[in-house]
Structures are given as C-alpha cells and as structure tokens.
Structure 1
C-alpha cells in the first residue's frame, strides 16, 4: 500500500502514540536473540557510532573481520587480507571557531544552517544577501558578488534539469543557501544535523577555482531573516511564484579542518561448491559506518546507528556463522562497506577497484533501510523488476505469508541512496528492501522512526522492535541468498534501460 502524503499525523498524535511504542519483550527464538546480541555489540557506546575514518569504526571493522574468520569465510580484501583500505579527504567545519550572521541575527550551525565544506568554501565572507525565489535563470541575472538564498524542494517542474549552483557560479554569486523546505510526508527533513562536514574519496574533489559557499537553511529560522517568511514557505510549497527580497549584509568567519583519513571495507568470501559456477559470485552487503559523535539531541551526542546499519552487518555475521564455512553452489562475497552515509564511498570504491573480478558478480543483495517496527505484511523491493531474482523473491515472500511490491515512492529516490546503486550502475542486478506500511499503526511507527531516530542519536538499542517482523525478515534474507546462490539460472538484467540511469 502506498504511503499517502496527505495522511498527516499531528505532533500531538505523534507524541501520544509514542507511549504505545515502548520496547516489547525481546526475541524468543535463538537466531534472533543472537542477531540482536551482535547488533548490540556493534552499536554499543564503546564503538563511538562507527564514524567513517574513526577509531570506533576501525574497532567495529576488526570485530567483523574476526567474526567472519571464525565463521570460516576466506579473506577477500586487498593483498589477501580482510580489508580494502580507502583514503579519504575529510573537510569539517569547526563550529566552535566559526560564526555566521545575517546582520545582527546569528545562525546556529547544524540547527539553523548546515554548511557543506568544500575546497572552494571561503574562510571569510562579507557581502549582501538576496532571496531569489526558486533561483531560475530569470531570477539570477544580477547576483554577482552576492550570497543568494533559494527556495528548496518542491520546485516547479521547469527547474527539474536546471543546475542552480552551476548557474549561480556562472553569474558571479558568492554562494547558494537553499531553504530546506518541508520534505515528503513519509520522510521529513530532520534538524539538527550531526555536523557540517564533507567526506570524499581522496583526490576526487573538483579543484577550487573561485570561492563559493554552499549550504541549507532551516525554514524555522527564516522568519528571523525575512518578514513574510510564512507566506514564502506556503507559496513555495504550492509551487507558486515567489518574490525577490534583499536580506541585508551577511558576515561569516569559517574555520574548516582538512584531514586525510583512511577507512576500510571488510570483505569475506564463502567459496562455492560447484566448479562450473565458480565465476558467478553473489554479493551480500551492508554498511558498517554511522555518524559517530555529533550535534546533541536531548543531551545525547552519540549517534549509535543501531538499525542503520549495525543490525544488518550483524545479519551478515549471522548468515556466515550459520553456514560455518559450508558453501552454496555459487561463491558468496560478504561485503561490509564504509562511507555509505558520506555518499556510498565504500561500495563505489569496491565497484571501481574490485578485489574480485567484477564481471563475475551476478547479483548484489543489499541490507539497509530495513526497519522491523511493525508486523511484516508487505515489503517494498527495490530492483524487483530488473532481474530474474524477482521470481524467488515473490515465491519466498508468499510462502512466508507476506506480499511484495515495486517502489511506491520513487520520489524518495531510495533505490540510489544505498550500496546497491554503484553495482546497478555497473550493470549488476541489485536488490534492497523496505518493510512497507499498510495501516495507521504501522504508518505511525514509521513516521516516528523518521521523525525521532533516523540519523539521530535515538537510533539505538531503545528502538521499539517488532521481534517477529525482525525474525521474519531475517529468515527471508537467508532464503533469498540461498536461492540466488543455488539456482541453476544466472541473473541477467531484464530492464536494460536501468544501465543508462545515473
């Protein structure tokens, strides 16, 4: 069932509903208990949120490698080891040493304004600021030397392919701040953000030519900058015509640290048993990285990342342990990626620098975006129609008592937001899964998760889990992996147009 955007829950309803979401008794079956114990270990406070390039991430990666070794997997990383190291450029705003103000109105970093540090971010900015509506071509003819504020999404369709940042650079603007307009009903924009930071694969960032400031503004801060802010937000949400307005002077002093860090994918191989299928590898993957320490929410500044995505690295560990070195017909690569939260860095690096022949990879089954918060009755499967894995997916789901569907919310772009996407861009079929909502209680739990826990410190072990749903999904994952790795047919693309998407 599609989540209906007009089905809005009020703040009062959300708060009253959370009382009913208290943690239920723990799992009763041994496999789910073991899975949650591994999840607890990976998302405990001693792992410091497993931030990309951090000692906490390295501790978690070493633990996963040990678990893979104990389960009988073979190292499949660089030079015969468990790890595939990636050098990263890490640019981070030092909020305590920085300042940003429109006139006399100071904006708080990560709460009122989020900056995206880059090689072109100026350390000091003193200029006039101007609001130019959607920043279409006819809005920005005279913005040279100014900081430009633009209304964010949703924007009129005429701007669908218009690169506003590129156009503003060409027009001589000093930067672009986007008003983070309210997002989709099923995935609201959440403030605060953990930090103002950019992480890229080392050496891949575009060299700076001229200074340009990039960031987003919390719409709740707009009334302090623009007298008719409420009308602007309402008109923008409706896609109506927006006025231009001068916002006065803006002054920014920014301290940005640049460090080169390293973080590693963890790669283990379960060899296949059929020599004729030795060159047909199935990849099962999840991301280990989280956000680490960041902007506190209700006094908690540690972003544990329990469901996103420690729980599903733990599920890979459980599958490996259950096999105990006994392979399927095809080889299965257990891939634990770094840097997913920073832009699919680990999976992108693996696809571009594979430690096993990429031409031998038949399919990628990805574990992310899975929220066992309510009974599993309906599951969205991204990539369902693009390979013949759709048939065993449907068969296993039907036998398990739930239905599957194509993506009912393509506007959220979930297909491209996780580690299956670099594989799919390379022409490899990929699957990822979301436990879909189907009634008001499930919708309430889903909204509650995105409102209070997603990419926030509350994504921790206090999350109310539906243990039967967790067990049902885990059993489904075991079965679909077995079906993919043991089936006679290979897994070619059905929709060849997918290869052209980027």
Structure 2
C-alpha cells in the first residue's frame, strides 16, 4: 500500500487529484515521472542486495535499451555483478547500570567480523581522546567527543590513540555542534557491507556512536554536568578526563551473508573514430537505504533525491540522444552500493568493462537537492581538472556562479562515486547546489540535511523547486554534451593535489 502522501504524489503524476503544481517544463515532468517510478514505495528504497534493487536495475536497463544505448556490462549484457559481504546487527540491547540505552536512538554500533557480541566494560570519559590524554584505558570503553574542529583529533586519530592505549571500545559522542551536517537520530540500521576479498579489520576496539542527549545517563553518578560537557565539547573548549562509575553493557545478535547487486552499464558509442579511446562516464547511484528504523512513523527510506532522481536524469539524457552519438563514447553507469561505501564504483574502477586506459573522465550526479533556486553551484575538484573550466563556461552562460567547496570539513568530495575515479587518476567532478551564507537558500539546505538526508522523508512528497530542477537538468545536458564533444579530452591541471603522481 502506498503511504498517503506518496499516493497523492503518484496521483499528481497522473494528473489526478493534484495538490501542488507539477513542473511546467515537459522535460522536467518526464524526469520526475522516471524519478517516481524508481523511488515509489513499490521499489522499497532499492537497498543493495535486495529484490527491490534488482527490480529497479531491470527497470533502468529497459529504459537504457529503449533510449538506444548499447549494453556495456559483463558478457555483452547490461549488468556488472558486484560481490559483497554484509554483517548486520539483527538485535541489540545496551545499558549502563540499570539504565537502558535505545538501540539506533541512543547508541549504534559499526559491526566488524569477529567482534565480541557481549561486552561489560568500565567507562572512561576522555574528552577529545588525544593520545596524551588517555592514560590507562586498558579494557575500558572510552568516551570521546566526535569533534570536527581543526586542531583537535580526527575520528581516525581518536581511534588510533584508543587502540594503542588498549581500549576495548570507543564510544564517540555524535557532535551536535557540527552544524554543517548535524547528527541525525535514529540511525536507519547498523550494518557493514564490504566487497568480497576486502573484509574490514576485525582487531581493535569496537566502535559505538552515542547520541549526545544520552550522555547524562551514561555518566550518571560521576557528579559531572553532561549538558555542559556536550556544549563545551561542541565548542572545542577544554574538557576534563574522568572515569564514570557505571559499566557499559552490550549484547548483540549478528548475521553475516554474501550478497551481490549489479551496476547497470550502457554505452552511447562515439561518432569520431579518432576519439574512440576517450570514454566519458556519466554516473549516479541507484541504491538507497530501503526499510529501516521508522522516523515519524515512516520506516521506508525511499531515496528520491538521493539518488533516484539522478539515475532518472541519466535516463533522460540518453532519451534526448536517442542513440545519436557524440564525438566521444559515453558510458552511462548506475552504480550500486554507494550508500555502503562507494562499493559499485570501486568495483567498476578495479574491474572496468571499458579498458581503464580508455576512461577519460567521470561526471557524477549525487548530493544534488533542487529545493531552492540554482544561482550558485559548488563544483567538486573545480581547480583540479579542465572539467572545472567546462563547468564555469556552461554555468556562466546560464547566469549561475560556481564556487569551490565551502565546507571541506564534510569531505563530500570523498563521499560519492566520483572519488574512486579520482583515486585512480581519472579526471572527475560532481556538483552541489550552493547558497549564500545567511540566505533563505541556506536555511532550506540546512533543514533538508536535518530532516531529509538519509531519512524516509526523502520521498516523492517532499518540496521541490521545479525551476531549480529544470535549470540543473539543462546545465547537465549542456555540460555532458560539451565534455563529450569538445576537441580536447579532460585533463589534469598542473599543481593539483589530486593529480596522480608520475
């Protein structure tokens, strides 16, 4: 059964019972109809390894075929099967003393193969968990503030220090002061997925994440002011170190299974034989979260803007071309496993169905939220390759300004499917809707990350700025055409820190 709001959205797509206007632009209406087909409730959020994902993959392959593309997967087909392992926490209980902690609401865990499934540990609060502040934490659960502030330990540094000091677990307080991407509770689920043959390390402290609101119960009896510690930790202020009187207890039920899911790969052959070895990859990820912990009574994480809408945009671009090639070959790639660690893109880069030497660039569509006007656009790796020059030219002709990433502390460049290409030395880029500080656009952007990002509310009923969607879609059509048609192949710029070493 469709959720009530989604039923309204579905009827709108059919022109029945509309409660909000649909886009006036026919191309944008067609794009949104494909988005609805990929992210409606019947697609169940397209979780990696699920039957729903397989249905979505088949639907994308059919659309690519109808658009005149050629299969570019394994064995002459549309798919490249990606083998993975999944470790899932099926059930968990947590407590400190006689105080329970809610799984996924107060605390969650990152499962790893071979980890202990029962813990009963003393607690050591150690502020930011700098190596020189830990002291004797052998066999303890160490509580650390998960700050993102310069000059304080990073997540990797905190974990390395705790591991070296002999801690049995690291309990990281999700930083409410990280306003550019605030913590979102509850978590959808607790699972780890990895490519077969690359299992995560099992040795070392177990990783837990703690809701800052639950800190008071965890350190009860210590005489410390938990809200004050959270406020000071969010500000990067000096903090004490102390041992708490309670014991951190956890009992976990784990299940491991082998799974797989396909990348969908389709080729628009180039028409210039001199450029046939310069394939341009256009990518987006098809997978979402699927069913998970309910938020406001909704437990289906549809993943409409993240990222069904941009697989739909690949389809629309293919339909525009209708089999008519550009000068360079264009590989359309709908990747799997992005939400589990860029797994589909990593697999493709390691096992390309097009010779690695023939991959000239990747243009990735993700992190796009057409929920406010497109007047400014962040372009990842803007100054690193000539793709940045292409973005400036196309956006400038539309009256859209471009900028470097204004929030590098979020690491967005490394969090989407362009990153495996860049790591492999292939020029790549991606785009994010930008805003001016203090503007209404910033307010909308921040609110979406609080209430929509990786939430069931990223669905067909959410507010969309149709003109912004139209503007970005037109930008993408023009940008992809320019990159595939211009005389010179995308190239690295001298001095780029991302440029591969000779």
TM-score (norm 2): 0.92
Q: Is the 8 A contact 2:49 2:259 kept in 1?
A: yes
- Matched residue of 2:499: which SS? helix
CA distance in 2 between partners of 1:69 and 1:347 (Å): 22
Deviation at 1:444, TM superposition (A): 1.9
- The 8 Å contact of residues 175 and 214 in structure 1, kept in 2 or not, is answered as yes
Correspondence 1:453 to 2:452: yes
Whether 1:497 and 2:486 are equivalent positions in the alignment is no
Change beyond 3 A, Cα 1:493–1:240 = same
Map 1:34-433 onto structure 2 (within 5 A). Answer: 34-95=30-91, 98-155=92-149, 157=151, 159-160=153-154, 163-209=157-203, 212-226=205-219, 227-247=224-244, 248-433=246-431
- TM-aligned CA deviation for residue 109 of structure 1: 1.1
For 1:381 and 1:84, the matched residues in 2 are separated by 29
Farther off after superposition, 55-64 or 123-132: 123-132
Residue 171 of structure 1: CA displacement? 2.4
Give structure 2 stretches of 5+ with no counterpart.
1-17
Distance in 2 separating the partners of 1:302 and 1:84: 27
Residues 162, 83 of structure 1: alpha-carbon distance in 2 compared, 3 angstrom cutoff? closer
Is 1:33 aligned to 2:29, yes or no? yes
CA-atom RMSD, angstroms? 1.7
| Residues paired across the two proteins, number | 477
Structure 1 segments (4+ residues) deviating >4 Å: none
Q: CA deviation at 1:161?
A: 8.9
Alignment check: 8 A CA contact 1:134 1:155 kept: no
The Cα shift of 1:388 comes to 1.5
CA contact (8 A) 1:121 1:214 kept: no
User: Would the alpha carbon gap of residues 162 and 471 (structure 1) be closer, same or farther in structure 2, given more than 3 Å must change?
Assistant: closer
Aligned to 1:8: none
Deviations 1:308-328 (A, max 9, x none): 000000000001111111110
Q: Deviations over 1:294-319 (max 9, x none)?
A: 00001100000000000000000001
**SS in structure 1 opposite 2:193?**
strand
Aligned CA distance change for structure 1 residues 163 and 500 (closer, same or farther; 3 Å): farther
Shift of 1:164: 2.5
What's 1:18 paired with?
Answer: none
Alignment CA distance shift 1:155-1:486 (3 Å): closer
CA shift, 1:435, in A, is: 1.1
Q: Distance in 1 between matches of 2:130 and 2:111?
A: 24
- For residue 379 of structure 2, give the secondary structure of its aligned residue in structure 1: strand
Partners of 2:407 and 2:22 in 1: CA distance: 32
The answer to which structure, 1 or 2, has the higher relative contact order (CA under 8 A, 6+ apart) is 1
Whether contact under 8 Å (1:91, 1:256) holds in the other structure is yes
Compared CA separation, residues 215 and 497, structure 1 to 2 (3 A): same
Deviates more, 1:330-339 or 1:422-431: 422-431
* Structure-2 change in CA distance of 1:451 and 1:469 (3 Å): same
Report Cα offsets for 1:35-88 as digits up to 9, x if no partner.
000000000000110001111111101100111111111111112111111111
Q: Is the 8 A contact 2:61 2:264 kept in 1?
A: yes
What residue is the counterpart of 2:7 in the other structure? none
How far apart are the structure 2 equivalents of 1:447 and 1:36? Answer: 23
Q: Which residue of 2 aligns with 1:477?
A: 476
